[in-house]
Structures are given as structure tokens and as C-alpha cells.
Amino acid sequence: MKLPSKNWVEIDLAAIAHNVRMIRQRVGRGVGIIGVVKSDAYGHGASRVGRLLQSMGVGMLAVAGVEEGIVLRDRGINIPILVLGCIFQEEVEAILRYSLTPNLCDRDVARRLAGSAKSLDKVAKVHVKIDTGLGSLGVHHGEAVRFIRDVANTENLFIEGIFTHFSSSSEIDNNHTYEQLCIFNDIVREIESLGIHVPLKHAANSGAVLGTPEALFNLVRPGMLLYGLRPSYPDVVCGRHSIDVHPAMTLKSSLGFIKNISAGDTVSYGRTFKAQRPTKVGILPLGYDNGYIRALSNKSEVIIRGQRAPVIGRVRMNHVQIDVTDVPGVRVGDEVILFGRNSGLSISVETVAELINTVPYEVVCAAGRSNPKVYINEVTRDEYNEDSIRRPAGSVPAYKG
């Protein structure tokens, strides 16, 4: 017998659709969107979000690994899917079978991919990733032109796109972003001087969509903006280029138990909270096993019955304690919001992240990974602008099952 969960994340699909429209307005016509749905769409559910983006005419999705791409294909996604992460040689056959587009930055993988494509009488589309300063995955920029030239001369491979990833586009000081952009532009000019035409170019993640309009090219790769999340320094970045995005995820629980304690009593492990007055303590059936990070102990708050209530004591594996002394009429079963909005009150994901010195996407990934998802506000085709539907130039639906 399946019982309803007492903890869940609520995903507002209309908010995501709104955010897509806002991104389109920000980047302008002629710039396509690669919807980043890696890590289960930042905890929001890659299959459901992917289908929504596909229905809205988003021309391409991006995932972290080949397995994520296969799941989307099996769930009915037929637009191009770019694999952003590491590609292993043993994954090449699956890439071709499921018509995934790998990022390519390894010669051994290139040889294996070309050989397998030839044996199947196919041409494999690839996007070459150039490391212009992130210091992670990608062909080092000093070797990029030679690498691209060699791939371009390899039978059964087609370089559909080239891209880079910025390390600091959401930071207060984005000088390094412009340094990376200059390196990328130099490489683009050099390969074009060699007669190598690459249809798709992309560099702008969410921070660059807001703060570096010179980096838009003909595609952008928003991740956190799709889900209504802000960069690390929203006042600075959004002050340069503001955008009205709506948070899509709310983390909810149910009040499971209420008890009264006396002044001087302590709560939870380590006795880190000591009551200064007679206190009514509410217990939630949720803890760090549900993605509510332990570092929030004695720092955060929740919304219950239209009021704020502080988290008290250490967050445990399966329980959180809240002080409901000042919440009139509180009772077992009341809905509790750990982040999100209710009754005109808000606890933003950014606020929660700031309390524990992390980034908003860690918060939503943890919550989405650990709790059932409830989708609200389904979007019909009439609710978005058909005029804005477009796929990036040079891209076609990649998979027909």
C-alpha cells in the first residue's frame, strides 16, 4: 500500500515557461536556447522539464552524461541533446544509437567515434569544447585550432558547434569572463580564416546571459535562470541586465509532532539550542536525508500558517525541529514550507544558500533528488508565444526513435 509522502517538492511548470519567455526576451530573436537539464534539471525533473522545453520550441537540451541523455530519449525527447560532461570510449556506440551530440575534446574518443560512425554509415555531429580559462574539461585553447582542424578533416565527423564555459560570469568582477571571451573569439576567427565553418557557437551561461551580452553568439546555455535562480551576486549582475524570473521549486513538509518544553531545556544533538522560555516545539519528518542540509541548524526558518518559525537545534537525518510558540492554532498535519512562497511570505533558495555559504543550485539539487515531485500549473500550448518558437540555425531534430 502506497501512502502519500509527508515531504515533497512542488515544481511550478508555469514558472519555468515564464522564465523561458523572459530569457528569450533578454537574448533577442535569432539567438536560440540550449535548455540545461543536467542533474535531473537541477532537481526539478529532467523528463518533465525537457518535455515542456521541447513543447515550447527550445531547440536543444544539455545533459551532464550519456546516461542522462538516454533517459530523455526513452521519455520521448526527440530534439538534439548535447552531452556536456566527460565522454568515455565505451559510450560511443550509445551516443550514435540514441543520436546524442557529444562534447568532443579528446582525440582517442574522436577516433573511436569516427570509426563507429563509419561502420554504421553515419556522420556523427559533435560540439568541440574549448577550455579558455575554467581549467577543467575541454581542449586547451592553445591547442584548439589544431584540434578543430584535425576533427574537421576526419571523415564521418561533423563539427556542428564549438563552445566554452565561463568560470566567473556570476561574480562581481567579471574581467576574467571577458578574457575568456577574447580567447574564444580569436579561435573562432582563426578557424574561419582556415575555411572551417562551424554553424553553432555558444558560451553564455546564466550569468553571461545577464551580464555579458557580447557572449550571446547564436546560442545560449541557461541553467539556473530556467528554474528562477539568481547568480552568486544577484544585485550586481542583475543590476546590469535585470530579468524577471520566477522560482520554480518549493520544498514542503508536514508538521508531525508538537511538544512543550520548559525554559532551560535543550533540543536535538549536541544541545546547541537552549530554550529561554517555555517553548512549543514542532517536529518535521524531514532532515538531511531529504536534502535539508545539516548546516542549516539553528540558522534557517520555515513558513507555517502564514508565519515564520525558526529552525532550532541541529538538523537530524530524519527530523527538523521548529519553534512554533508564536504560531496561533498550530496543529499536527499543518503544511510547512522550508523554502518557497506562501501567504505573501518568502524564503528564497538564495537565502538558504547564503546561510550555509553555498550556491542555490546545490540546495535545489539536494531537495529535488531526495523528495517526491508534485507538478503544478501545467502549461498549455496556447499559453506561450508561438512567434518565439525557433531552433538554432543548423540544428534539426536528432532522433526519431
What local confidence, expressed as pLDDT, does residue 22 receive? 96
Considering only CA atoms, give the Rg of the chain.
Answer: 24
What local confidence, expressed as pLDDT, does residue 399 receive? 55
Domain 13-230 sits in CATH at: 3.20.20.10
Nearest CA-CA partner of 6 in 401, 298, 319, 312: 319
- What residue spans define the domains of the chain? 13-230, 249-347
Q: Would you place residue 241 in the very low, low, confident or very high pLDDT band (cuts 50, 70, 90)?
A: low
What local confidence, expressed as pLDDT, does residue 283 receive? 99
Whole-number Å distance between alpha carbons of 383 and 229: 22
Q: Which CATH superfamily is domain 249-347 in?
A: Lyase, Ornithine Decarboxylase; Chain A, domain 1 (2.40.37.10)
For the whole model, what pTM was predicted?
Answer: 0.92
The one catalytic residue among 38, 125, 129, 201: 38
Mean pLDDT of 339-345: 91
- Cα atoms found within 13 Å of the Cα of residue 291, Cβ hemisphere only: 27
Using a pLDDT cut of 70, give the percent of the chain over it. Answer: 91
pLDDT tops 60 at residue 387: no
Mean pLDDT of 147-176: 90
- Residue 220: CB partners within 8 Å, gap ≥ 6? 23, 27, 31, 32, 33, 34, 202, 204, 205, 208, 209
Q: Are 124 and 83 in contact (CB under 8 A)?
A: no
Whole-number Å distance between alpha carbons of 166 and 144: 16
Q: Are 27 and 220 in contact (CB under 8 A)?
A: yes
Does 118 participate in catalysis according to the annotation? no
DSSP category for residue 394: T
Question: CA geometry: angle at 88 spanning 369 and 187, to 5°?
Answer: 100
Q: Would you place residue 384 in the very low, low, confident or very high pLDDT band (cuts 50, 70, 90)?
A: low
Q: Would you place residue 190 in the very low, low, confident or very high pLDDT band (cuts 50, 70, 90)?
A: very high
The most confident of the ranges 132-136, 154-158, 173-177 is 154-158
Q: Would you place residue 343 in the very low, low, confident or very high pLDDT band (cuts 50, 70, 90)?
A: confident
Does 288 participate in catalysis according to the annotation? no
pLDDT tops 50 at residue 385: no
Instruction: Please state, rounded to an integer, the average pLDDT across all residues of the chain.
Output: 92
Tell me whether the CATH fold assigned to 13-230 matches the one assigned to 249-347.
no
pLDDT tops 60 at residue 401: no
Neighbours of 72 (CB within 10 A): 24
What local confidence, expressed as pLDDT, does residue 173 receive? 67
The one catalytic residue among 259, 269, 274, 299: 269
Q: Give strand ranges (E) for 87-216.
A: 101-104, 124-131, 139-140, 157-163, 200-204
pLDDT tops 50 at residue 200: yes
Whole-number Å distance between alpha carbons of 102 and 95: 7
What local confidence, expressed as pLDDT, does residue 396 receive? 43
List the end-to-end C-alpha distance of the chain, in Å, as a whole number: 35
pLDDT tops 90 at residue 143: yes
pLDDT tops 70 at residue 400: no
